[in-house]
Amino acid sequence: MTRPALTLLLAAPRGFCAGVDRAIQIVEKALEAYGAPVYVRHEIVHNRYVVQSLEAKGAVFVDELDQVPDTAPVVFSAHGVPKAVPAEAARRGLMHLDATCPLVTKVHREAERQSAAGRHMLLIGHAGHPEVIGTMGQLPAGAVSLIETKADAEAFEAVDPANLACITQTTLSVDDTAEILAVLQRRFPAMQVPKREDICYATTNRQQAVKAIAARCDALLVLGAPNSSNSMRLVEVARNAGCELAFLVQRARDIDWSRLEGVTRLGITAGASAPEILVEEVIEAARARYDVTVEEVTVTQESVHFKLPRQLAAMA
């Protein structure tokens, strides 16, 4: 029986970013340095495959510090943590390692700098996301207002419109954020904005790569987790860029191939917390059903690399 032809269009860059790579290395090096168990507060990155691989090596994932024994090392996740968390770890004398992505830390420092200059902070982001909780937790309660939508931007009442500054979550839709920012800048022309977008290079590049293939695809799969902000944004970007049939899958085994009937060009990308092995699994699963041709579309090369924390750098 001849198999139907299927062209796989692989978006590049896709998958792991430098911040995720560093966070995983921190847990692995901590396991080497201190032995198991190493505790990790929250999912180190939003991907079950990654979390389960680290659990198999001896990492223990917990929700809060009070689940960490006094004698065990603890790692904070790539999304960043409110200031109260390292303060509590220090109070208890816990050995702690911070895997916060340096690009998230940069936003934290900007928030502190602007707040110290007397400005009220507006944070464009999604309520409840760990990065947003961490960023808001850099400043005292009430010092940061969260803006999630254009409607929020229209409705926000400033006590002192001349003294506002804006920051954003790093993993948002570039296009949606530009629209929200435009509303805020129209309403508050004196508002300070960062010189460069807070949306990180990895989020921006993965969205551009999806835009480059979306209009050529009958369907597009994003490998990633439902709680991964940058992965969810890739699904939206694909739909907005002309590929209506775009959806998120966590593993190849989750794909409902009946949804792809009649598809001859299938786009594939992966969120910044999804390892390449998950893409390879999908390609293999497609080969079992189709006569597959693979075409990679690269919009840019990435060479970003972040150093490990001082405590672990010597082991790298």
Catalytic positions, written as ranges: 131
Interface with ligand SF4 in residues 191-220 (CB under 6 A): 200, 202-203
Distance CA 99, CA 194 (A): 23
Using CB under 6 A, which of the segments 12-20, 61-69, 183-191, 308-316 binds ligand SF4? 12-20
User: Pick from 26, 68, 75, 78: which binds ligand SF4 (CB under 6 A)?
Assistant: 78
User: Per CB under 6 A, does 104 bind ligand SF4?
Assistant: yes
Residue (59 or 274) nearer to ligand SF4, CB: 274
Spell out the residues 6+ positions from residue 286 whose beta carbon is closer than 8 angstroms to its own: 6, 8, 266, 292
Alpha-carbon distance of 7 to 280, in angstroms, equals 15
Residue 228 touching ligand SF4 (CB under 6 A):
no
Q: How many CB atoms lie within 10 A of CB 177?
A: 20
As measured in angstroms, the least distance from the Cβ of 116 to ligand SF4 is 23
- When asked if residue 169 is in the footprint of ligand SF4 (CB under 6 A), the reply is no
Q: Are 297 and 10 a contacting pair, CB within 8 Å?
A: yes
Q: How far is the CB of 202 from ligand SF4 (least distance, A)?
A: 4
Phi/psi of residue 306, each to 5°? -110, 145
From 230, 231, 250, 269, residue interacting with ligand SF4 (rule: CB under 6 A): 230
Taking every pair of Cα atoms in the chain, the longest distance, rounded to a whole number of angstroms, is: 71
Q: Are 108 and 138 in contact (CB under 8 A)?
A: yes
Binding-site ranges for ligand SF4 (CB under 6 A): 17-20, 78, 101, 103-104, 170-171, 200, 202-203, 230, 272
